Every structure is written in structure tokens, then in C-alpha cells.
Amino acid sequence: MVALMMLNAGYSDIPEGKLASVVTCLEMRARPELKVERADSPWRLRPVPQAPPNWYRELYRRVGIEWLWTSRLVMPEADLAAILNNPAVEIHALAWDGRDEGLLELDFREPGQCELAFFGLTKGLLGRGAGRWLMNRAIERAWARPIERFWVHTCTLDHPDALGFYRRSGFVPYERRVEVMDDPRLTGLAPRTAAPHVPIIETARFGRQS
């Protein structure tokens, strides 16, 4: 059994140059009824088997940099290729007007389960109904396999409606975690203009902020 480190009640200092977020894990144990989507949707789900790492990282960055997605940007090339080439991992792009503008990654490597590993849209598609359309495709594909559980996690760095969207889609929260990570805007991995909803703090106490 893995021992859990318990956080004390009250405030905890975050090391300089780091970000902290509250992660919420959610799951569904049975396929839900699909929510209403646009009848005239112009999007197409494009499967990308054995996705090239360069293509994947470019789309991953366009979809996620505003929400400080960085885990796949710092992952060693061989490790990322091993995931993308695994037959138990499905990579799909949401194609629109000749371009890939959304990312859907379904991970079936754990028997009986599917993780919604990455799910998102580029900025130009937000608010157009593409998120609901893509989630319906995700649910259909996940439950087309013999799974007992479909799960996802989101955090307080994500789009402010992400948690509500997952709950409206049929996911139920079951666990919270705290994640501490390097601020990628200070390491150069993300532009300083990314994630304006998360202020940059450059000194630990009473220092310059932007």
C-alpha cells in the first residue's frame, strides 16, 4: 500500500518558480445518454494511428498552452513515441476546414478502463459547440470497448468551465489532489502571455509580480 502524504489544514508555501493546482478526478461507471449537439456540425473526427511526435506536440501545444499543458512537451521523445505507437492508445484530431483543431486521446492500457488522457480545442473553436460534439465522440468510442470505467482529471489551471463541462457530460468527481509543477512561463516552455488567468510570481515574498 502506498502511504499518502497528508497536507495540513491552512496555507502551504509554494516554492519560488512553481505553480500549484487542485486536481479533481472524475469517473463514469456506465455509458450516459449523449447530450444534444449541433445538428449542422462541420467537424470530422480524424483518427491518427501511430501519431508522429512532432505532429502531436504541435497540436498539443496549440490546444493546451493557454492552460499550461506541458507534460508531453518535456517527455523524452522515446517515451512519447511509445505511448503514441501503443495499440491501446487512440489518438484523434478534430478536423475543421482542412486543419486539425482539436485533440482527443483515449488510453485503454489499463484493462477494463479508459482514461480520457487529453481533450481540448484550439482557441478559435471555443464556444461553437465543438466541445460537446467531441465529448460525444469520446464517450461513444470509450464505451464501444468492454470497459467498466471511463475517467478523466482536470485542474484549476484549466478552462474555468472544464470541471462543470465534465460533470454535465456524466462524469462524477471522486478524488482531489494537489499538483506542484514548474511555471513553464518562467522556464521558457510557454510564452509569458499564456494563461493570463494565472498570474506570474517571480519572487517568493513581496517581490515583483506581473
Q: Hey, what domains does the chain have and what are their CATH numbers?
A: 18-187 (3.40.630.30)
DSSP class per residue in 56-92: HHHHHHHHHGGGT--HHHHS-HHHHHHHHT-TTEEEE
Query: Is the pLDDT confidence value at 167 over 70?
Result: yes
Per-residue pLDDT reduced to its tens digit, 85-124:
999 999 999 999 999 999 999 999 999 999 999 999 999 9
What's the whole-model pTM score?
A: 0.92
* Dihedral over Cα of 114, 117, 122, 123: its sign: positive
DSSP class per residue in 12-62: ----TTEEEEEEEEEEESSPPPPPP--TT---EEEE-TT--HHHHHHHHHH
CA-nearest of 29, 18, 44 to 143 is: 29
Band of pLDDT at residue 61, cut at 50, 70 and 90? very high
